[in-house]
Structure 1
Amino acid sequence: MGRLTDKTALVTGASRGIGRGIARRLAGDGALVAVHYSTGETEAKETVELISAEGGRAFTVRADLGEPDEVTELFEVLQRELRERTGSAALDILVNNAAYGGQTALPEDVTVAELDKYLAVNARAPFLVAQQALPLLSEGGRIVNISSGITRSAQPDMIAYAMSKGVIEQLTLHLARHVAERGITVNSVAPGLTDNGKPMFSIPAVVERLAELSAFKRVGQVQDIADVVAFVASDEARWITGSYIDASGGTLLG
Protein backbone atom coordinates (compact mmCIF):
# COMPACT_ATOMS: atom_id res chain seq x y z
CA MET A 1 0.00 0.00 0.00
CA GLY A 2 1.40 3.36 -1.07
CA ARG A 3 1.05 6.37 1.18
CA LEU A 4 -1.36 7.95 -1.35
CA THR A 5 -3.49 4.86 -1.97
CA ASP A 6 -7.15 5.80 -2.57
CA LYS A 7 -6.17 9.45 -3.10
CA THR A 8 -6.95 11.44 -6.24
CA ALA A 9 -4.71 14.11 -7.72
CA LEU A 10 -4.73 16.72 -10.47
CA VAL A 11 -1.33 17.80 -11.80
CA THR A 12 -1.45 20.67 -14.27
CA GLY A 13 1.15 20.80 -17.02
CA ALA A 14 1.93 17.11 -16.56
CA SER A 15 2.62 16.11 -20.15
CA ARG A 16 6.39 16.50 -19.77
CA GLY A 17 9.22 17.81 -17.62
CA ILE A 18 8.70 18.42 -13.92
CA GLY A 19 4.94 17.95 -14.21
CA ARG A 20 5.37 14.50 -15.72
CA GLY A 21 7.81 13.57 -12.96
CA ILE A 22 5.36 14.72 -10.28
CA ALA A 23 2.47 12.80 -11.86
CA ARG A 24 4.55 9.62 -12.05
CA ARG A 25 5.70 9.95 -8.45
CA LEU A 26 2.20 10.57 -7.06
CA ALA A 27 0.85 7.64 -9.07
CA GLY A 28 3.74 5.52 -7.82
CA ASP A 29 2.61 6.34 -4.28
CA GLY A 30 -0.87 5.08 -5.10
CA ALA A 31 -2.83 8.12 -6.26
CA LEU A 32 -5.17 8.19 -9.24
CA VAL A 33 -3.71 11.08 -11.25
CA ALA A 34 -5.39 13.42 -13.71
CA VAL A 35 -2.65 14.40 -16.17
CA HIS A 36 -3.47 17.87 -17.45
CA TYR A 37 -2.11 19.25 -20.71
CA SER A 38 -2.77 22.20 -22.98
CA THR A 39 -1.26 21.35 -26.37
CA GLY A 40 0.88 18.26 -25.80
CA GLU A 41 -1.74 15.54 -26.22
CA THR A 42 0.76 12.96 -27.43
CA GLU A 43 3.12 13.69 -24.56
CA ALA A 44 0.27 13.58 -22.02
CA LYS A 45 -0.78 10.17 -23.29
CA GLU A 46 2.85 9.07 -22.97
CA THR A 47 2.78 10.17 -19.33
CA VAL A 48 -0.31 8.04 -18.74
CA GLU A 49 1.33 5.10 -20.53
CA LEU A 50 4.42 5.42 -18.37
CA ILE A 51 2.31 5.49 -15.23
CA SER A 52 0.32 2.46 -16.36
CA ALA A 53 3.54 0.55 -17.15
CA GLU A 54 4.71 1.31 -13.62
CA GLY A 55 1.50 -0.11 -12.15
CA GLY A 56 -0.20 3.22 -11.51
CA ARG A 57 -3.48 4.79 -12.59
CA ALA A 58 -3.91 7.98 -14.60
CA PHE A 59 -5.99 9.69 -17.27
CA THR A 60 -5.64 12.88 -19.32
CA VAL A 61 -7.60 16.13 -19.15
CA ARG A 62 -7.08 19.08 -21.48
CA ALA A 63 -7.49 22.84 -21.07
CA ASP A 64 -5.80 26.07 -22.07
CA LEU A 65 -5.44 27.48 -18.58
CA GLY A 66 -4.91 30.96 -20.01
CA GLU A 67 -8.63 30.93 -20.91
CA PRO A 68 -10.89 31.18 -17.83
CA ASP A 69 -13.79 29.38 -19.54
CA GLU A 70 -11.54 26.41 -20.23
CA VAL A 71 -10.60 26.19 -16.57
CA THR A 72 -14.29 25.75 -15.80
CA GLU A 73 -14.61 23.13 -18.54
CA LEU A 74 -11.54 21.34 -17.16
CA PHE A 75 -13.24 20.81 -13.83
CA GLU A 76 -16.46 19.65 -15.42
CA VAL A 77 -14.50 16.94 -17.25
CA LEU A 78 -12.39 16.17 -14.19
CA GLN A 79 -15.44 15.57 -12.02
CA ARG A 80 -17.01 13.30 -14.62
CA GLU A 81 -13.81 11.29 -15.02
CA LEU A 82 -13.31 10.93 -11.27
CA ARG A 83 -16.89 9.77 -10.74
CA GLU A 84 -16.51 7.13 -13.44
CA ARG A 85 -13.38 5.77 -11.80
CA THR A 86 -14.05 6.21 -8.09
CA GLY A 87 -17.75 6.91 -7.70
CA SER A 88 -16.97 10.36 -6.32
CA ALA A 89 -15.77 13.72 -7.63
CA ALA A 90 -13.64 14.31 -4.54
CA LEU A 91 -10.12 15.59 -5.14
CA ASP A 92 -7.38 15.05 -2.56
CA ILE A 93 -4.34 16.70 -4.15
CA LEU A 94 -3.94 19.64 -6.49
CA VAL A 95 -0.53 20.43 -7.94
CA ASN A 96 -0.49 23.78 -9.74
CA ASN A 97 2.50 23.14 -11.99
CA ALA A 98 1.59 24.44 -15.47
CA ALA A 99 3.53 27.55 -16.44
CA TYR A 100 4.49 29.73 -19.36
CA GLY A 101 8.24 30.26 -19.80
CA GLY A 102 8.37 32.48 -22.87
CA GLN A 103 11.60 34.19 -23.89
CA THR A 104 13.98 36.16 -21.74
CA ALA A 105 13.74 39.93 -22.16
CA LEU A 106 15.07 42.93 -20.28
CA PRO A 107 12.47 45.15 -18.59
CA GLU A 108 12.45 47.73 -21.36
CA ASP A 109 11.85 45.03 -23.98
CA VAL A 110 8.90 43.21 -22.38
CA THR A 111 5.77 43.79 -24.45
CA VAL A 112 2.29 44.17 -22.98
CA ALA A 113 1.15 41.08 -24.87
CA GLU A 114 4.00 38.99 -23.45
CA LEU A 115 3.42 40.28 -19.92
CA ASP A 116 -0.27 39.46 -20.21
CA LYS A 117 0.59 35.90 -21.28
CA TYR A 118 2.86 35.41 -18.27
CA LEU A 119 0.26 36.76 -15.88
CA ALA A 120 -2.63 34.82 -17.44
CA VAL A 121 -0.95 31.42 -17.25
CA ASN A 122 1.38 31.76 -14.26
CA ALA A 123 -0.67 33.97 -11.95
CA ARG A 124 -4.36 34.07 -12.87
CA ALA A 125 -4.66 30.41 -13.88
CA PRO A 126 -3.31 28.91 -10.63
CA PHE A 127 -5.78 31.06 -8.71
CA LEU A 128 -8.70 29.98 -10.91
CA VAL A 129 -7.67 26.34 -10.76
CA ALA A 130 -7.43 26.48 -6.96
CA GLN A 131 -10.75 28.31 -6.79
CA GLN A 132 -12.46 25.61 -8.84
CA ALA A 133 -10.78 22.88 -6.78
CA LEU A 134 -11.82 24.19 -3.36
CA PRO A 135 -15.35 22.69 -3.35
CA LEU A 136 -13.95 19.31 -4.42
CA LEU A 137 -11.02 19.09 -2.02
CA SER A 138 -11.39 16.51 0.71
CA GLU A 139 -10.85 17.18 4.39
CA GLY A 140 -7.09 17.04 4.88
CA GLY A 141 -6.44 17.70 1.20
CA ARG A 142 -3.28 19.20 -0.30
CA ILE A 143 -2.56 22.11 -2.61
CA VAL A 144 1.01 22.33 -3.89
CA ASN A 145 1.88 25.37 -5.98
CA ILE A 146 5.05 25.16 -8.06
CA SER A 147 6.91 28.44 -7.74
CA SER A 148 10.50 29.16 -8.77
CA GLY A 149 13.80 30.04 -7.18
CA ILE A 150 13.87 33.07 -9.48
CA THR A 151 11.38 34.77 -7.13
CA ARG A 152 14.18 35.02 -4.53
CA SER A 153 17.00 36.21 -6.79
CA ALA A 154 17.52 39.02 -9.29
CA GLN A 155 17.79 38.25 -13.00
CA PRO A 156 16.58 41.27 -14.97
CA ASP A 157 16.02 39.42 -18.25
CA MET A 158 13.53 37.13 -16.46
CA ILE A 159 11.58 39.90 -14.75
CA ALA A 160 8.22 39.07 -16.34
CA TYR A 161 8.44 35.40 -15.46
CA ALA A 162 9.66 36.16 -11.93
CA MET A 163 6.85 38.66 -11.35
CA SER A 164 4.22 36.16 -12.46
CA LYS A 165 5.69 33.42 -10.30
CA GLY A 166 5.87 35.76 -7.33
CA VAL A 167 2.08 35.76 -7.28
CA ILE A 168 2.26 32.07 -6.32
CA GLU A 169 3.69 33.04 -2.95
CA GLN A 170 0.69 35.22 -2.13
CA LEU A 171 -1.74 32.61 -3.41
CA THR A 172 -0.11 30.06 -1.14
CA LEU A 173 -0.05 32.30 1.92
CA HIS A 174 -3.65 33.48 1.83
CA LEU A 175 -5.18 30.18 0.73
CA ALA A 176 -3.33 28.39 3.53
CA ARG A 177 -5.10 30.50 6.14
CA HIS A 178 -8.45 30.21 4.36
CA VAL A 179 -8.62 26.40 4.18
CA ALA A 180 -6.78 25.48 7.38
CA GLU A 181 -10.02 24.79 9.24
CA ARG A 182 -10.66 21.96 6.77
CA GLY A 183 -7.26 20.43 7.49
CA ILE A 184 -6.07 21.35 3.99
CA THR A 185 -2.47 22.44 3.60
CA VAL A 186 -1.20 24.84 0.94
CA ASN A 187 2.48 25.13 0.18
CA SER A 188 4.73 26.27 -2.63
CA VAL A 189 7.72 24.29 -3.89
CA ALA A 190 10.37 26.31 -5.71
CA PRO A 191 12.67 24.44 -8.11
CA GLY A 192 15.92 25.92 -9.26
CA LEU A 193 17.85 24.90 -12.37
CA THR A 194 16.28 21.56 -13.21
CA ASP A 195 16.81 19.35 -16.24
CA ASN A 196 13.27 19.39 -17.56
CA GLY A 197 14.15 18.07 -20.99
CA LYS A 198 14.76 21.38 -22.71
CA PRO A 199 17.47 21.32 -25.42
CA MET A 200 20.00 23.30 -23.41
CA PHE A 201 20.31 20.44 -20.91
CA SER A 202 21.73 18.23 -23.66
CA ILE A 203 24.74 20.54 -24.06
CA PRO A 204 27.49 19.40 -21.63
CA ALA A 205 29.19 22.81 -21.46
CA VAL A 206 25.90 24.50 -20.52
CA VAL A 207 25.08 21.88 -17.90
CA GLU A 208 28.57 22.21 -16.42
CA ARG A 209 28.18 25.97 -16.13
CA LEU A 210 24.72 25.73 -14.58
CA ALA A 211 25.88 23.07 -12.13
CA GLU A 212 28.31 25.56 -10.61
CA LEU A 213 25.36 27.61 -9.36
CA SER A 214 24.19 24.82 -7.06
CA ALA A 215 25.70 24.11 -3.65
CA PHE A 216 25.83 20.46 -4.73
CA LYS A 217 27.57 21.30 -8.03
CA ARG A 218 25.02 19.57 -10.20
CA VAL A 219 21.86 20.43 -12.09
CA GLY A 220 18.62 19.34 -10.48
CA GLN A 221 16.72 16.35 -11.83
CA VAL A 222 12.97 16.06 -12.22
CA GLN A 223 12.94 13.35 -9.56
CA ASP A 224 14.48 15.77 -7.06
CA ILE A 225 11.43 18.02 -7.36
CA ALA A 226 8.90 15.20 -7.61
CA ASP A 227 10.15 13.71 -4.34
CA VAL A 228 9.69 17.01 -2.52
CA VAL A 229 6.17 17.43 -3.90
CA ALA A 230 5.29 13.86 -2.95
CA PHE A 231 6.33 14.56 0.63
CA VAL A 232 4.34 17.80 0.80
CA ALA A 233 1.31 15.95 -0.62
CA SER A 234 1.55 13.21 2.00
CA ASP A 235 0.18 12.95 5.52
CA GLU A 236 3.72 13.32 6.88
CA ALA A 237 3.55 17.01 5.88
CA ARG A 238 0.27 17.68 7.70
CA TRP A 239 1.89 20.27 10.00
CA ILE A 240 3.40 22.33 7.17
CA THR A 241 1.29 25.00 5.51
CA GLY A 242 1.76 28.43 3.98
CA SER A 243 5.41 27.61 3.40
CA TYR A 244 7.87 28.40 0.63
CA ILE A 245 9.97 25.27 0.18
CA ASP A 246 13.28 25.94 -1.54
CA ALA A 247 13.99 22.98 -3.82
CA SER A 248 16.76 24.68 -5.75
CA GLY A 249 19.66 22.52 -4.56
CA GLY A 250 21.18 25.41 -2.64
CA THR A 251 21.25 27.73 -5.65
CA LEU A 252 20.08 30.62 -3.48
CA LEU A 253 22.71 30.18 -0.78
CA GLY A 254 25.17 32.49 -2.53
Structure 2
Amino acid sequence: MTSPRLAFLASSAESAQQALVTLSARYGHHPPADADILVALGGDGFMLQTLHRHGQLGKPVFGMKLGTVGFMMNHHREEGLLERIAAAEPATLRPLEMTAQTESGIEVHSLAYNEVSLLRQTRQAAQMSIDLNGQTRVEEMIGDGVLVATPAGSTAYNFSAHGPILPLGSNTLALTPIAPYRPRRWRGAILKSGTEITFRVMDAHKRPVSATADSHEFRDVTEVTIRESCDRTVRLLFDPEHNLEERIFSEQFVV
Protein backbone atom coordinates (compact mmCIF):
# COMPACT_ATOMS: atom_id res chain seq x y z
CA MET A 1 0.00 0.00 0.00
CA THR A 2 1.46 3.34 -1.04
CA SER A 3 1.75 6.16 1.45
CA PRO A 4 -0.60 9.12 0.99
CA ARG A 5 0.83 12.24 -0.54
CA LEU A 6 0.87 15.02 2.03
CA ALA A 7 0.65 18.79 1.67
CA PHE A 8 1.98 20.64 4.71
CA LEU A 9 0.47 24.06 5.39
CA ALA A 10 1.69 26.24 8.26
CA SER A 11 0.71 29.43 10.02
CA SER A 12 3.20 32.27 10.34
CA ALA A 13 4.07 31.27 13.92
CA GLU A 14 7.75 30.36 14.32
CA SER A 15 6.97 26.94 15.81
CA ALA A 16 4.65 26.12 12.89
CA GLN A 17 7.24 27.22 10.33
CA GLN A 18 9.90 25.06 11.99
CA ALA A 19 7.54 22.07 11.98
CA LEU A 20 6.80 22.70 8.30
CA VAL A 21 10.49 22.33 7.41
CA THR A 22 11.00 19.25 9.60
CA LEU A 23 7.87 17.38 8.53
CA SER A 24 8.30 18.18 4.83
CA ALA A 25 11.83 16.79 4.91
CA ARG A 26 10.71 13.63 6.71
CA TYR A 27 7.46 12.80 4.87
CA GLY A 28 7.76 14.68 1.58
CA HIS A 29 5.64 17.60 0.45
CA HIS A 30 3.21 18.03 -2.45
CA PRO A 31 1.16 21.00 -3.64
CA PRO A 32 -2.36 20.93 -2.13
CA ALA A 33 -3.99 20.16 -5.48
CA ASP A 34 -1.78 17.07 -5.93
CA ALA A 35 -1.94 15.79 -2.34
CA ASP A 36 -4.18 13.15 -0.82
CA ILE A 37 -4.16 14.72 2.66
CA LEU A 38 -3.66 18.31 3.80
CA VAL A 39 -1.76 18.70 7.08
CA ALA A 40 -2.46 22.05 8.78
CA LEU A 41 0.10 23.26 11.33
CA GLY A 42 -1.14 26.01 13.63
CA GLY A 43 -4.19 26.83 15.72
CA ASP A 44 -7.92 26.89 15.10
CA GLY A 45 -7.66 30.21 13.25
CA PHE A 46 -5.22 28.70 10.77
CA MET A 47 -7.43 25.62 10.39
CA LEU A 48 -10.31 27.89 9.35
CA GLN A 49 -7.99 29.68 6.90
CA THR A 50 -7.02 26.30 5.44
CA LEU A 51 -10.65 25.26 5.00
CA HIS A 52 -11.51 28.56 3.30
CA ARG A 53 -8.50 28.45 0.98
CA HIS A 54 -8.49 24.76 0.07
CA GLY A 55 -11.91 23.36 1.05
CA GLN A 56 -13.03 23.31 -2.57
CA LEU A 57 -10.38 20.65 -3.28
CA GLY A 58 -12.32 18.12 -1.21
CA LYS A 59 -9.17 16.81 0.48
CA PRO A 60 -9.26 15.56 4.12
CA VAL A 61 -7.41 17.78 6.58
CA PHE A 62 -5.33 16.54 9.52
CA GLY A 63 -4.42 19.39 11.86
CA MET A 64 -1.67 19.57 14.47
CA LYS A 65 -1.71 22.18 17.19
CA LEU A 66 1.08 24.72 16.93
CA GLY A 67 -0.92 27.75 18.04
CA THR A 68 -2.81 29.23 20.97
CA VAL A 69 -6.19 27.52 20.52
CA GLY A 70 -6.40 24.04 19.03
CA PHE A 71 -9.90 22.68 19.51
CA MET A 72 -9.96 21.53 15.87
CA MET A 73 -6.39 20.21 15.96
CA ASN A 74 -4.57 17.06 17.05
CA HIS A 75 -1.49 17.08 19.26
CA HIS A 76 1.76 17.91 17.49
CA ARG A 77 4.12 14.95 17.20
CA GLU A 78 6.69 14.45 14.47
CA GLU A 79 6.92 10.67 14.65
CA GLY A 80 4.31 8.23 13.38
CA LEU A 81 2.35 10.71 11.28
CA LEU A 82 1.44 8.25 8.52
CA GLU A 83 0.20 5.71 11.07
CA ARG A 84 -1.86 8.38 12.83
CA ILE A 85 -3.47 9.46 9.57
CA ALA A 86 -4.29 5.84 8.67
CA ALA A 87 -6.00 5.34 12.05
CA ALA A 88 -7.70 8.76 12.15
CA GLU A 89 -11.45 9.16 12.52
CA PRO A 90 -13.17 11.60 10.14
CA ALA A 91 -15.54 14.39 11.12
CA THR A 92 -17.62 15.89 8.31
CA LEU A 93 -18.39 19.60 8.53
CA ARG A 94 -20.95 21.42 6.42
CA PRO A 95 -20.43 25.20 6.22
CA LEU A 96 -22.94 28.02 6.29
CA GLU A 97 -23.53 30.03 3.12
CA MET A 98 -24.00 33.74 3.71
CA THR A 99 -25.45 36.24 1.23
CA ALA A 100 -25.40 39.89 2.32
CA GLN A 101 -26.68 43.11 0.81
CA THR A 102 -24.71 46.26 1.66
CA GLU A 103 -25.94 49.83 1.96
CA SER A 104 -24.12 50.67 -1.28
CA GLY A 105 -26.20 48.04 -3.13
CA ILE A 106 -23.46 45.41 -3.46
CA GLU A 107 -24.25 41.72 -2.89
CA VAL A 108 -21.49 39.69 -1.22
CA HIS A 109 -21.14 35.98 -0.51
CA SER A 110 -19.05 33.96 1.93
CA LEU A 111 -18.81 30.61 3.70
CA ALA A 112 -18.52 30.03 7.44
CA TYR A 113 -17.45 26.80 9.12
CA ASN A 114 -17.88 28.20 12.66
CA GLU A 115 -20.38 31.04 12.61
CA VAL A 116 -21.80 34.11 10.92
CA SER A 117 -22.12 37.04 13.31
CA LEU A 118 -23.85 40.40 12.85
CA LEU A 119 -22.39 43.10 15.09
CA ARG A 120 -23.00 46.79 15.69
CA GLN A 121 -20.32 49.03 14.14
CA THR A 122 -20.72 52.03 16.44
CA ARG A 123 -21.85 52.88 19.98
CA GLN A 124 -25.44 52.62 18.71
CA ALA A 125 -26.99 49.22 19.37
CA ALA A 126 -27.90 47.07 16.37
CA GLN A 127 -31.59 46.88 15.52
CA MET A 128 -32.90 44.17 13.23
CA SER A 129 -35.72 41.74 12.48
CA ILE A 130 -35.27 37.98 12.12
CA ASP A 131 -37.12 35.79 9.59
CA LEU A 132 -37.02 31.99 9.57
CA ASN A 133 -38.02 30.35 6.28
CA GLY A 134 -39.75 33.56 5.22
CA GLN A 135 -41.74 34.03 8.43
CA THR A 136 -40.89 36.85 10.82
CA ARG A 137 -40.10 35.38 14.24
CA VAL A 138 -38.50 38.42 15.91
CA GLU A 139 -39.93 41.74 14.76
CA GLU A 140 -37.34 43.83 16.58
CA MET A 141 -34.10 42.71 18.19
CA ILE A 142 -31.93 45.39 19.79
CA GLY A 143 -28.49 44.59 21.17
CA ASP A 144 -24.82 44.21 20.31
CA GLY A 145 -25.68 41.69 17.61
CA VAL A 146 -26.66 38.12 16.82
CA LEU A 147 -24.95 35.04 15.41
CA VAL A 148 -25.69 31.72 13.73
CA ALA A 149 -23.32 28.87 14.63
CA THR A 150 -22.71 25.37 13.28
CA PRO A 151 -22.22 22.47 15.71
CA ALA A 152 -18.46 22.66 15.13
CA GLY A 153 -18.53 26.38 15.91
CA SER A 154 -20.98 26.17 18.79
CA THR A 155 -18.15 25.88 21.35
CA ALA A 156 -16.46 29.07 20.11
CA TYR A 157 -17.97 32.59 19.96
CA ASN A 158 -21.47 31.13 20.29
CA PHE A 159 -20.66 29.55 23.67
CA SER A 160 -19.02 32.77 24.88
CA ALA A 161 -22.31 34.53 24.06
CA HIS A 162 -24.15 31.96 26.24
CA GLY A 163 -25.42 29.98 23.26
CA PRO A 164 -25.96 26.19 23.39
CA ILE A 165 -23.33 23.60 22.55
CA LEU A 166 -24.63 21.48 19.67
CA PRO A 167 -23.58 17.83 19.20
CA LEU A 168 -21.73 17.14 15.98
CA GLY A 169 -24.09 15.47 13.50
CA SER A 170 -27.20 16.82 15.25
CA ASN A 171 -28.34 18.63 12.05
CA THR A 172 -29.01 21.79 14.04
CA LEU A 173 -27.84 25.40 14.12
CA ALA A 174 -27.64 27.81 17.05
CA LEU A 175 -29.28 31.24 16.73
CA THR A 176 -27.84 33.30 19.57
CA PRO A 177 -28.31 36.99 20.46
CA ILE A 178 -25.29 38.96 21.68
CA ALA A 179 -26.01 41.14 24.72
CA PRO A 180 -29.71 41.59 23.79
CA TYR A 181 -31.61 44.56 25.18
CA ARG A 182 -34.87 43.65 23.46
CA PRO A 183 -36.49 41.14 23.62
CA ARG A 184 -34.93 41.21 27.09
CA ARG A 185 -35.60 37.58 28.00
CA TRP A 186 -34.92 36.06 24.59
CA ARG A 187 -31.95 33.69 24.71
CA GLY A 188 -32.02 32.49 21.12
CA ALA A 189 -33.11 29.25 19.49
CA ILE A 190 -31.91 25.88 18.20
CA LEU A 191 -32.91 25.49 14.57
CA LYS A 192 -33.05 22.63 12.09
CA SER A 193 -30.04 22.74 9.80
CA GLY A 194 -32.22 23.35 6.72
CA THR A 195 -33.66 26.59 8.11
CA GLU A 196 -33.11 29.73 6.04
CA ILE A 197 -32.41 32.70 8.33
CA THR A 198 -32.76 36.31 7.18
CA PHE A 199 -31.73 39.35 9.18
CA ARG A 200 -32.96 42.80 8.11
CA VAL A 201 -31.14 45.77 9.59
CA MET A 202 -33.43 48.59 10.68
CA ASP A 203 -32.17 52.16 10.29
CA ALA A 204 -28.88 50.97 8.81
CA HIS A 205 -27.53 54.51 8.37
CA LYS A 206 -27.94 55.46 12.03
CA ARG A 207 -27.24 51.97 13.41
CA PRO A 208 -24.71 50.39 11.02
CA VAL A 209 -24.06 46.66 11.27
CA SER A 210 -21.24 44.44 9.99
CA ALA A 211 -21.51 40.76 9.05
CA THR A 212 -18.57 38.42 9.68
CA ALA A 213 -18.36 34.89 8.24
CA ASP A 214 -15.62 33.27 10.34
CA SER A 215 -12.92 35.93 9.84
CA HIS A 216 -14.29 37.59 6.67
CA GLU A 217 -15.98 40.87 7.57
CA PHE A 218 -18.39 42.90 5.43
CA ARG A 219 -19.43 46.30 6.74
CA ASP A 220 -22.65 48.32 6.40
CA VAL A 221 -24.94 45.39 5.61
CA THR A 222 -28.68 45.90 5.27
CA GLU A 223 -29.87 42.30 4.82
CA VAL A 224 -28.15 38.98 5.47
CA THR A 225 -29.43 35.51 4.54
CA ILE A 226 -27.82 32.38 5.96
CA ARG A 227 -28.40 28.73 5.11
CA GLU A 228 -26.44 25.54 5.53
CA SER A 229 -24.67 24.53 2.33
CA CYS A 230 -26.31 21.67 0.43
CA ASP A 231 -23.27 20.66 -1.60
CA ARG A 232 -20.13 21.74 0.27
CA THR A 233 -18.50 19.60 2.96
CA VAL A 234 -15.02 19.22 4.42
CA ARG A 235 -13.54 16.27 6.32
CA LEU A 236 -11.28 16.77 9.32
CA LEU A 237 -9.22 13.83 10.57
CA PHE A 238 -8.70 13.21 14.30
CA ASP A 239 -6.70 10.81 16.41
CA PRO A 240 -9.20 8.36 17.99
CA GLU A 241 -8.38 9.68 21.47
CA HIS A 242 -8.92 13.23 20.20
CA ASN A 243 -12.32 12.64 18.60
CA LEU A 244 -14.05 15.94 17.77
CA GLU A 245 -17.55 14.64 18.52
CA GLU A 246 -16.48 13.53 22.01
CA ARG A 247 -14.67 16.83 22.65
CA ILE A 248 -17.75 18.86 21.76
CA PHE A 249 -19.92 16.61 23.93
CA SER A 250 -17.48 16.89 26.86
CA GLU A 251 -17.51 20.70 26.69
CA GLN A 252 -21.06 20.59 28.08
CA PHE A 253 -19.72 19.22 31.38
CA VAL A 254 -16.82 21.63 31.89
CA VAL A 255 -17.45 23.79 34.95
TM-score, normalization: structure 1? 0.29
- Structure scoring higher RCO (CA < 8 A, sep ≥ 6) equals 2
Larger Rg: 2
Higher normalized strand content (fraction of residues): 2
TM-score, normalization: structure 2? 0.29
